[in-house]
A and B are shown apart, each in its own frame.
Chain A
Amino acid sequence: MQQNLFAAATGAQSRTADLAIYSKYRLGGAFDEMFAIDGTVRPPYAELHRRIAELSPDELRQGQQACEQSFLHQDITFTVYGDSQTTERIIPTDLLPRIITAAEWKRLDAGLKQRIEALNLFLHDIYAEGRVLKDGLVPRELIYRSKHYRREMRGVSVPHGAYVNVCGTDLVRREDGKFVVLEDNLRVPSGVSYMLANRDVVRRVFPAIFRSVGVSPIEHYPQDLLQMLKSLAPAKDEISIVVLSPGVFNSAYFEHAFLARQMGVELVEGRDLVVNDNAVYARTTSGLKRVDVIYRRIDDDFMDPLAFRSDSTLGVAGVFNAYRAGNVVIANAPGTGIADDKAVYAYVPRMIRYYLAEEPILDNVETFLCREPKTLAHVLANLEKLVVKAVGESGGYGMLVGPHASKAERDAFAQKLKAEPDNYIAQPTIQLSTVPCFVDGGIEARHVDLRPFILHGAETTIAPGALTRVALKRGSLVVNSSQGGGSKDTWVLRR
């Protein structure tokens, strides 16, 4: 491994040797957001670094415990599905904030807005004329064969052409410090409640640092979300909005309840809604009440047993027809999954040039499409260097991290690849950037990614913050909460 003991790194000794708390901090192949390779503190982190030095390990430990207690008491938990049993866990949260400068954020903000605009134009196109397919920019079979393509959406008119209303794009920071897009989550992205909960707890634990550093506020996200959802409905005095959740057993239930409470709208389950004469109603104690906008946190497949999976008991029979009839808005629109398919992802930079005639502000991670025979051969020959992902999966399921897999695991995966090459893409292993985390009484470097949340209705807004997911195991690059990742507060500096 190319990692060095931090204290042994050139130039580091004089500056940090006296801080025993950093004794296990290792710098190496990845870009570290707090320390330059020579051990000097990068300017955006100077204030945080100075403040940490004033705290004893005990004070830090107390802060960490306060974070965990707060999450436990609020029952901010996540359900992890295993082979034989499911368990409810707190998402481990790290008390040290991750810092993004105002300049970095400005670029991210512009790049994400550009990207969501292109993605929505693409969705409109493939569900209408299919210009992009006729022009041969994206292969036809890639769209029509995907399980996320919804034939039912053809010709459906969508308010403001906004198919993706809530998007949670995953970005990573490469070895050169540049943010690139790893994937677009366009279906039912989750995690925004953790962005807000992390902020809430860290601000209480470190009020002084918070003030002195100058952090952009994100607390208005629920109002922005409500405003965006309202903008999707035809204008009238009282727009009835609901959050549709699969229910209390869903892994993101906390978030569904949280958002409904913060917006002041009803949280409903499929069984609370009925459709009559192509209109949607909620069953209330006083009778049936009309619903105008459904912010659904339930997958396409389970939304309507009449239109999609007939064995679904979570959805609402007839809701899709009500949607087609224009009597209710569903956000995100059904069928957005086609655009975050991991193979379609590879074409997003081309989409930006095609629809907007602009150069992409944010790059993709280099992506190999295994559907091309030559590329497949290259991927198979380099499995130990690559990350291979199933195109239709998410949440870290169905993937192989080559450098961390055993030979037997790689061989088994190679068989799957050969059997169904269309189903896989590969990407080089990126050394995700590292940030300081409080681990076992000391501060160590851990790999992170970044998930900002983009709202897109009549207009596009992005709260200046994000969910930073942390791979808690030393050296691990897997940040998914379903795979034991944690999270931390993310500070976008005002200046």
Chain B
Amino acid sequence: MKNYTLLPFNFTRLLGKEVLVNELGDMLITPIGTANKIVEHSINNEELYKSLVANFFISEELLPSLLDIYASRLRLKKSFLDDRTALHIFVLTLRCNQNCIYCQASSREEGSKHCSMTYKMMEQSVHLMFRSHSPSLTMEFQGGEPSLEPTLIKYGIELAEEINQKECRDISYVLCTNCRNLTDDLLELCKRYHVLISTSLDGPSYIHNKNRGREDSYEKTIAGIQKARMILGDEAVSALMTTSELALDYPKEIVDEYVQDGFTDIFLRALNPYGLASENENWEYYNERFVAFYKAALDYIIYLNKQGTFFREVYASIILRKMLTPYTTGFVDLQSPAGTVNSVLIYNYDGYVYASDESRMLAENGDYTFRLGKISDKYEDIVYGEKVRNMGKIWANEALAGCSDCPVKAYCGADPVRHHSTQGDMYGFRPSSFVCKKNKAIIEYLISLLIERGDEVMPIFRSWLR
């Protein structure tokens, strides 16, 4: 073994192995004691030594000849930064026709007034969206229940289409709806502009209806999904679930519900501490139970895949893409620098631009920390303003205490908004951070699956990432 120098990496111990991860997110599973041997120059396993060199953990040259390749690969991992904001969320209204127990968006009664976006605001928002340089733009309609404002949706899409005749961006549209109010007219509009439907389905009727506060919610949602699929095609309809406390006891039943409804994936999402959900009392207990729920559901999903049913868990797929491939994802909650502003901007019904979906939810509780400016303000004043510059100091986990030396930081992200709302401090204190605890538990669980059941799970994971 030759003389070598160390390249930056972190490590952790799991299941009797030492897991080394470098700055590119490349991972090596090695025997316990490897990190120490690297430091002491006492590696005696030739194949391990070769793997360490080949995978950029140590270098046989003082200045690695392949540093440019390392840089090129790092650039690919951070390519979500190349083009600025791609996801633009338009919160059309707070009005809603449901009454979800964990509502994250402080919705109001269907007949409420003064809580919808004006046409003028829509016009200014669409113009702001086009100020982003991103060659692909996603215009996402949220609420409340955005389908209660169909003419505003139509106006927004048609304006975007008109501007895009000159701009020539690749625009996609997403309508986040509970599917109760998908009229023929609205679906016709969706068909014309290839609008994707993103709906919420929490599981079987006894969970969904309880969560959604209506006896007929499950029935209506399923009927809406079927109607939308018929008109727009199966591929155009996707669903998200939110894990209420009730749901924690039913991992298998929830997955079965999705399979039975013809979905090929599920996104197992934890509750977040906004809106009504923050009245949920014992967060520590909920978090622990969520992680157990997630593991049970994921194990069941792996079992289904082994039986020949292709079915994907989206959160795991996002992490695994960062862990096992040279690529990255556009998922805003697990990015460093954070997805706030860099990958997402919110145009809210109240006439203001916010840094993220969570930011506008905070505003409903009187916290305007992440209100970046008025929709009528200049683009530069919004995205290069003082608030964003201050967030910029603490939105890279490579430079945060408690993150920078974390072995799995390459698969995680920075979340100033969440830390502000849960800890009263954007910087955040990792030892007591629930978001840290949850992400770390899930990431480490995925790694432990690779260690213990690699041959079994890898073909499945690869199929999810294709």
Are the chains A and B members of one assembly?
no
B residues at A contact (CB < 8 Å): none
